[in-house]
Amino acid sequence: MKRGAFSGILFVIFCLFISGFAFGSDYPNKPINILIGYAAGGSTDLTTRALAMEASKILKQPIICSNQVGASGTLVLGRVKGEKNDGYTIYNAPTANFCRIPHLQAVPYDPLKDFTFIMQYGLYQYGIIVGADAPWKTLEELLDYAKKNPNKIKYATSGLGSGQHLVMEYLAKRYGIKWDHVPFSGGTQAVAALLGGHVQVVSQTPEWKEHVLAGKLRLLVVCTDQRMKAFPNVPTLIEKGIKFSVHSGLSFMGPAGMPPAVVEKLQNAFAEAMKSKAFLESMEKFDLPPAYLGSEALTKLIQKDYAETGELIKGLGIGIKK
């Protein structure tokens, strides 16, 4: 290679490095958009908005949250992957959208290649709920009835392929149950269906919490590893002898190839915002434990969970790769 051409390549690389550094140091200089794949009023929506409000003060730019509902929160990811990777359009999503749902249904994205994972700020909690006047006082009573009465039970969730859907599929597989899944666009809508008598059961994140505390609904079991703070007397599936639990984090991500300096600024701003009273109160409302993971740790977690969950779903015979 001629010396002039080689020098030219070095100059281009130098310019790209300098421009990338400058871009990162200048970020953000205009509003940031966060797309939320679930309906307004649910746990994902309200905790995202609380965190965004506090982070906007730190970044000194407005953060605009908008709900773009569809396909269990996965539809909008097909759009996000095509956005500019400059950090001005990011997405709030459960880690399940990358680790679990792609094994259960076709999605318009590659979960491991199309995104930059920015940070995790909390963990979802899950429970199985019935009406306060339902005849089932325990999970065992519900499962016994459902087994003896095929297709008599309709249960609601916030979407196909969600963690709350998977736990019901697991129970159906284990106990030979046939029940009907009714997916909604968000947890609030799923809980409303139970309150209105349109379904008999809800498997969902804690949009139901206030209704259980008010005595309108009954929490039969918790589907995560530990009992919930607000319901210390309600056992987990594992404590019931069912070796199954649902894991999913509340997280932010953007298109693949985001500049590291931008990712770091967002990661640090959201981490600082997690200390705010407004954010902690929003998490407490839904009994969601804050749980921080930075970009590197979150990326490794998703890669590991994707592989392990894929094996589990394949073993249950319910995925698209049976």
Which structural domains are found in the chain, ordered by start? Answer: 3-124+248-316 (3.40.190.150), 127-240 (3.40.190.10)
Is the Cα dihedral 233, 278, 48, 249 positive or negative? negative
When the pLDDT of each residue in the chain is averaged and rounded to a whole number, the result is 90
Question: Distances from the Cα of 38 to the Cαs of 33, 96, 137, 238, 313, in angstroms?
Answer: 15, 13, 31, 29, 24
pLDDT band at 143 (very low <50, low <70, confident <90, very high): very high
Compute how many other C-beta atoms are within 10 angstroms of the C-beta atom of residue 48.
Answer: 26
d(CA 269, CA 131): 41
Q: What is the CA radius of gyration of the chain?
A: 22
Res 318 pLDDT > 80: no
pTM equals: 0.81
pLDDT band at 282 (very low <50, low <70, confident <90, very high): very high
- Helix ranges restricted to H, the chain: 3-26, 43-59, 75-80, 96-99, 101-104, 139-148, 163-175, 187-195, 209-213, 260-273, 277-285, 295-316
Note the pLDDT of residue 20.
47
Note the pLDDT of residue 96.
87
